[in-house]
Amino acid sequence: MTDQDVDWPTDLQALRTELTRFMMSYKFATDEMMTKVNILKEEFSAIHDYSPIEHVSHRLKSPEGILKKANRKGYPLDLEGIRENIQDIAGIRITCSFISDTYRVLEMLTSQRDITVLQVKDYIRNPKPNGYKSLHLIAAIPVFMSDRVQPVTVEVQIRTVAMDFWASLEHKIFYKYDGAVPTALVGELKEAADVANRLDVDMERLHDQVLSLGDSSEPEDNRAPVAAHHANADGMLPYPLPRSLLEAFLEQSASTRAG
């Protein structure tokens, strides 16, 4: 194709439109996955003693970042080629308290019907050589655009607080030395990863011991009434459920069964 074959104003406008739709599809996929995660987090906070999800964050690669990665990896510079080969354009990070929680959250997400699991990498049971640990999920989410339903890939990283702290520090060091991290520092990072893992194991063991004690040691008079509720992450109380309301439901249910 020569310059004479290109209608630059028209073609540039068409490309701008397609690239905008391309980036928006990843934003919408991120929004959709964030909604799913936040629903799980809020449900657990309202119904259970604690939520396995401590914190959630997300990010979207810029067009410049996408182009740099495509060039570095030798991927074709067209939108379909990029969509097929670059699977971390949209990313979500879920931080949990305990190792068991990471697998619990992974199971809850992958069991949802509209999520198509493309790949799961378990770097917790099989850490990277440098000590990195995390669960990586690559999933396709259907995005309903005005004229199409576009499956869009999202990378979800699920890790504990200790794993996240270590990964954040390792990332900063990696870029500080432009990838050429001194051998001694690499060894110290690996040792720190082992310490973080021992902390995860010990904290979960202590947590399980506390749960195994139950509420039997707490005097009956000191226990919270049915109407008491814990505030959620936004500082708002869940739906008020006074004892009188619960008793009314139980009475109605018993009457219905008896009839």
Answer whether 93's CB lies under 8 Å from 58's CB.
yes
Distance in angstroms (rounded) separating the CA atoms of residues 34 and 40: 10
Strands (E), 25-161: 53-60, 90-96, 116-122, 135-144, 149-160
Query: Edge to edge, what strands does the sheet with 116-122 contain?
Result: 53-60, 90-96, 149-160, 135-144, 116-122
Distance in angstroms (rounded) separating the CA atoms of residues 98 and 104: 10
Q: Cβ of 164: how many Cβ atoms within 10 Å? A: 22
Cα angle: 87, vertex 91, 94; to 5 degrees: 135
Distance in angstroms (rounded) separating the CA atoms of residues 88 and 66: 9
Distance in angstroms (rounded) separating the CA atoms of residues 10 and 120: 42
Work out whether strand 149-160 and strand 116-122 pair parallel, antiparallel, or are unpaired: unpaired
The three-class DSSP label of residue 259 is: coil
Torsional sign, CA 66, 71, 75, 76: positive
Please list the active-site residues.
Answer: 155
Distance of CA 17 to the CA centre of its chain: 30
Which DSSP helix (H) or strand (E) runs through 70?
helix 63-73
